[in-house]
Structure 1
Amino acid sequence: MEKLINNNAMKIEGLKKTVDFVCSEVQELKKNMSDAEKCIDEEKRCRSMLENRIWELEGYHRHWNLKLHGISEKDGQDVRTAVIAAEEKIKLPDVIDTVHRLGSKVNTDKPRPVILQFTNRVHRDAIWKAVRNNSYLRENKLRFTEDFCEEDRERRKKLWPAVKSARDAGKKAYFVRARAFVESKEIVLPP
């Protein structure tokens, strides 16, 4: 009987050591998991910060551009020459740096928009203001629009109902890039 008790005591001692080892391993795994969660949270924060920075840089870069809609499209056409010809008709100084069509050519009667990158933002902003009521553009069915990244377009789309309802109510409502204002107060989107 004493031998059986000793044998059981040894087995119990072995089980205790095994349980202690497993408990210490579980504690170490919990610590490792906690450390990994902290790293993941930090990486998420960094990723979010980098995405915001990319969004800001893309928006800044695009702020040098305007889109011109309505320039007819022909095979082998030098789009820069066509844009400069239109530019001369609306009496704008030679301030365009690069010109190219957007997207792939598709079989449609509607010409693809042309992106214009200006030599500096002062010229771009002056042209943006000057072309608003230009008779040549209207008569030739040409129009300029601002160049926005996808995030800015989505944000403006979400803000548009608030801007429209404010305008319908007779309030001064407007956009500045991807931000909307009513009576000079910024509209904040819910998270």
Structure 2
Amino acid sequence: MSSKKSLAISRNIVATDDHEYARMEMDSTEKAKRKDPFSPAKITPTAKRQVTVSDGNEGMNAVLDAIKQLTEKVDTLGTQLQQNSTMLSSIAKAVEFNAAEIKDCKMQLQSAVRDVTAVKKDNAELMERVLELERYKRRWNLRIRGLKENDGEDIRVVVADLLVKISPSWSSSINQIVDSVHRIGRREGNITRHVIIQFTQRWHRDALWRMTKDHAICRELRISFIEDLCKADRETRAALWPKIKEARDAGKRAFFRGGAGYINGQRVT
């Protein structure tokens, strides 16, 4: 019996010790929780700020100032919008006016272009007609190239004597055959100027031209009788001369008639 009692007593002691140990652990845990600075129980509540009457007045004044500034900005913006609207209206009117002016200018330009085209056409036709008239008038003329020029000469007498030597039958009527005689341009240095003879009748001019083609007096005086061409025909001949010369060297029949060149009967340009 004594041993059983001893065993029970020892169990009670152990149980009591376990309870004491557990209580000690709980006490230490609660102490640790109370000492933890981050524990919610330790957070001190923030004191609420008391709103005073002066703070309310200041806020209201700030709001009123903001509203006033916004109103001024809106008014300024409205004025600017009105000015911009007026400016845009003026610009629109100016653009409309310029568009009308441009349209009118285009119409006038088109009319002017048509007029200029017509004038150019008429001018070209008139120039051709004047050129033909000049060519026709010059068919009564011959030029003498290489006739020696002397100071104080009477060129009409000199030419009349020359023509009588070439065609003795004209001696009695030379003044009726020859209309006018003169040299071309101003005298410059030792340059021998051409002489133009204008005949009263064209057949006299053609007859004399044929007689002078291979006349002894022309060879002796080293002169030649040539056509009196207008400037346009002279320029055309100068441009065609290389082709005419090349054709002649090749044995082809090449010649000029007026301002036109012909090779084997075909006109060349």
Q: TM-score range by the shorter chain?
A: 0.7 to 0.9
Structure 1 residues 91-123: Cα deviation after superposition (integer angstroms, max 9, x where no partner): 253321111112212331x53221100111111
Distance across 1 between alignment mates of 2:98 and 2:236: 52
Structure 1 residues 13-43: Cα deviation after superposition (integer angstroms, max 9, x where no partner): 4433332222111111111111112222222
The match for 2:94 is 18
Q: Measured at CA, do residues 12 and 144 of structure 1 come closer, stay the same or move farther in structure 2, by a change above 3 Å?
A: same
The match for 2:216 is 135
Unaligned ranges ≥5, structure 2? 1-73
Of all paired residues, the percent bearing the same amino acid is 35
Q: Measured at CA, do residues 119 and 187 of structure 1 come closer, stay the same or move farther in structure 2, by a change above 3 Å?
A: same
The match for 2:125 is 49
Q: Measured at CA, do residues 15 and 105 of structure 1 come closer, stay the same or move farther in structure 2, by a change above 3 Å?
A: closer
Distance across 2 between alignment mates of 1:99 and 1:83: 8
Kindly indicate whether residue 164 of structure 2 is the aligned counterpart of residue 82 of structure 1. Answer: no
The match for 2:27 is none
Distance across 2 between alignment mates of 1:16 and 1:71: 80
Distance across 2 between alignment mates of 1:179 and 1:151: 11
The match for 1:145 is 226
Structure number with the bigger relative contact order (C-alpha 8 A, sep ≥ 6) is 1
Structure 1 residues 117-150: Cα deviation after superposition (integer angstroms, max 9, x where no partner): 0111111112111110101221122221211121
What is the CA-CA distance between 1:8 and the residue it aligns to?
A: 5.3
Query: Residue 99 of structure 1 aligns to a residue in which SS?
Result: strand
Distance across 2 between alignment mates of 1:23 and 1:97: 67
- Contact 2:142–2:205, Cα closer than 8 Å, also in 1: yes
Kindly indicate whether residue 173 of structure 2 is the aligned counterpart of residue 97 of structure 1. Answer: no
Q: Measured at CA, do residues 144 and 13 of structure 1 come closer, stay the same or move farther in structure 2, by a change above 3 Å?
A: same
Greater C-alpha radius of gyration: 2
Residue identity opposite 2:251 in structure 1: G
Structure 1 residues 32-81: Cα deviation after superposition (integer angstroms, max 9, x where no partner): 11111222222222222222222222222222111113433333321111
Residues 1-191 of structure 1 correspond to what in structure 2 (within 5 A)? 11-91=87-167, 93=170, 94=174, 95-108=177-190, 110-188=191-269
Distance across 1 between alignment mates of 2:240 and 2:147: 30
- Contact 1:71–1:82, Cα closer than 8 Å, also in 2: no
Q: Report the RMSD for the aligned CA atoms in angstroms.
A: 2.2
Query: Residue 44 of structure 1 aligns to a residue in which SS?
Result: helix
Q: Measured at CA, do residues 141 and 120 of structure 1 come closer, stay the same or move farther in structure 2, by a change above 3 Å?
A: same
Distance across 2 between alignment mates of 1:126 and 1:48: 35
- Contact 2:244–2:254, Cα closer than 8 Å, also in 1: yes
TM-score when scaled to structure 1? 0.86
Q: Which deviates more, 7-16 or 82-91?
A: 7-16
Larger helix fraction of residues: 2
Residue identity opposite 1:55 in structure 2: L
Query: Residue 80 of structure 1 aligns to a residue in which SS?
Result: helix
Q: Which deviates more, 163-172 or 150-159?
A: 163-172
TM-score when scaled to structure 2? 0.63
Unaligned ranges ≥5, structure 1? none
